[in-house]
């Protein structure tokens, strides 16, 4: 894969992150100023993840038939049209439908670009490439909320700006030459997506655990931690400083961890960072002062903030090339499931147990993921075209 090719894919995913990072706070603030309930606001925010889950099972067959480029073009177009539609359509539930469409379009774009990067990266630079891929999305997502002040001038402005930027990046796709995912030399005409998903789960289920854990962690921290912090008596201003510490730590260390994983192995690095993250949140639970929490969140971000991209890299190490589309889809599904379960489980935990410590719950989840990677067994590839896997 040429540098120009890789640059375009990274640019696309950063703009996708930007639009997602813009939508969450902008729509929340617009609904709040319009007097919509917190329940409606929270339900509305799940629209994007629901769109991802709805689209995921149907993505592999079109990718194999059409190739990477057409799916990116269609997904990007769906996102751009939906962003501009926010300007003209002012119904709460039409906006939910538009969020659903953006989830579907973003997933088409992410799935195609992610599979393209994983399938065309050598094992020696796979971690580095995917860390740059994840870093670009993270930077875009972090830049999205800077569109919030535009709401005060005109509620349509954030959607106009995001739509124009997305359109600019989308044009670059047409400079790429279309390619297709690899097929197995042993594949028969009767083999379908379900059988490939089944094989991918048998061979690489361990790699889906980090992506699930990251989805759970991201939404539990953003959704449940602010409530837990206020119950502890931590000020809103302190929460506003503590939460970004995790994202900053993730951005700072994402690229170095990718390079380290190329050298020392994905499994080894995942075991170390998950243990580090679990210890950080355990410390946060034992000493919940704002200063300790800020430090713990930053160090935890440096460690487990890269579990999503490292999980994808690990999946690519475990699966033969013809199963990479299915593997990438399953990574996306596991992340979405974690993202939906995170705030629900965190809220339920704090509601059921009166003196519940949210950080102990997060530590428990990270420990389960660590145990799965440390002791889990996967089925070995049975055909000669696959690389062997040992645990």
Q: What are the DSSP calls for 243-306, one per residue?
A: HHHHHHHHHHHHHHHHHHHHHH-HHHHHHHHHHHHHHHHHHHHHS--HHHHHHHHHHHHHHHTT
What is the mean pLDDT, run by run of 10 residues, along the chain of 391 residues? 87 89 81 74 76 83 90 95 92 90 91 88 84 86 81 89 94 92 60 78 92 89 78 81 85 89 93 96 92 94 92 91 87 86 79 81 95 84 42 40
Residue matched to tokens 């962003």: 83
- Give the pair of three-digit tokens for residue 385: 């075209």
CATH of 1-173, one of 3.40.50.10260, 1.20.1250.20, 3.30.70.100, 2.60.120.260: 1.20.1250.20
**Every domain range in the chain assigned CATH 1.20.1250.20:** 1-173, 192-380
pLDDT at site 193: 67
CATH superfamily assigned to domain 192-380: MFS general substrate transporter like domains (1.20.1250.20)
For position 388, what pLDDT does the model report? Answer: 37
pTM of this prediction?
Answer: 0.78
What's the pLDDT at 389?
A: 40
Closest CA to 138 of 298, 247, 222: 247
Helices (H), 353-391: 358-375
pLDDT for the residue 362: 93
CA angle 68, 329, 80 (to 5 degrees): 55
**Distances, alpha carbon 69 to alpha carbons 3, 66, 115, 229, in Å:** 17, 8, 11, 45
Cβ atoms of 250 and 305 within 8 Å: the answer is: yes
Q: Which helix (H) or strand (E) holds 133?
A: helix 126-143
pLDDT value at position 391? 40
User: Residue 371 has what pLDDT?
Assistant: 96
C-alpha–C-alpha distance, residues 56 and 197, integer Å: 12
């Amino acid at each position: 894969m040429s540098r120009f090719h890789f640059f375009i894919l990274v640019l696309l995913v950063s703009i996708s992150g930007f639009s997602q990072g813009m939508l969450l706070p902008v729509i929340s603030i617009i609904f709040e100023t319009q007097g919509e309930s917190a329940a409606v606001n929270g339900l509305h925010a799940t629209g994007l993840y629901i769109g991802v889950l709805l689209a995921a099972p149907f993505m592999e067959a079109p990718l194999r038939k059409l190739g990477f480029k057409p799916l990116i073009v269609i997904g990007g177009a769906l996102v751009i049209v939906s962003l501009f539609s926010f300007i003209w359509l002012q119904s709460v539930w039409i906006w939910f439908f538009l969020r659903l469409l953006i989830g579907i379009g973003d997933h088409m774009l992410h799935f195609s670009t992610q599979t393209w990067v994983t399938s065309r990266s050598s094992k020696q630079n796979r971690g580095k490439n995917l860390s740059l891929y994840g870093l670009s999305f993270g930077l875009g997502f972090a830049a999205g909320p800077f569109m919030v002040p535009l709401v005060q001038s005109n509620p349509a402005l954030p959607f106009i700006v995001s739509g124009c930027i997305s359109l600019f990046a989308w044009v670059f796709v047409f400079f790429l030459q279309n390619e297709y995912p690899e097929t197995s030399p042993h594949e028969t005409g009767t083999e379908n997506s379900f059988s490939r998903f089944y094989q991918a789960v048998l061979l690489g289920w361990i790699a889906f655990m980090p992506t699930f854990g990251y989805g759970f962690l991201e939404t539990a921290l953003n959704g449940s931690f602010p409530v837990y912090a206020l119950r502890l008596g931590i000020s809103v201003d302190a929460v506003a400083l503590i939460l970004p510490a995790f994202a900053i730590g993730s951005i700072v260390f994402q690229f170095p961890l990718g390079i380290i994983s190329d050298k020392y192995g994905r499994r080894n690095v995942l075991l170390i960072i998950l243990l580090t993250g679990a210890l950080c949140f355990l410390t946060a639970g034992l000493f919940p002062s704002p200063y300790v929490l800020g430090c713990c969140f930053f160090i935890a971000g440096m460690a487990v903030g890269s579990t999503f991209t490292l999980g994808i890299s690990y999946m690519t190490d475990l699966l033969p090339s013809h199963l990479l589309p299915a593997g990438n889809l399953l990574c996306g599904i596991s992340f979405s499931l974690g993202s939906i379960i995170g705030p629900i489980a965190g809220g339920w935990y704090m509601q059921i147990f009166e003196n519940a410590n949210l950080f102990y719950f997060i530590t428990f989840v990270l420990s389960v993921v660590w145990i799965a990677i440390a002791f889990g067994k996967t089925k070995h590839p049975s055909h000669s075209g696959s690389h062997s896997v040992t645990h």
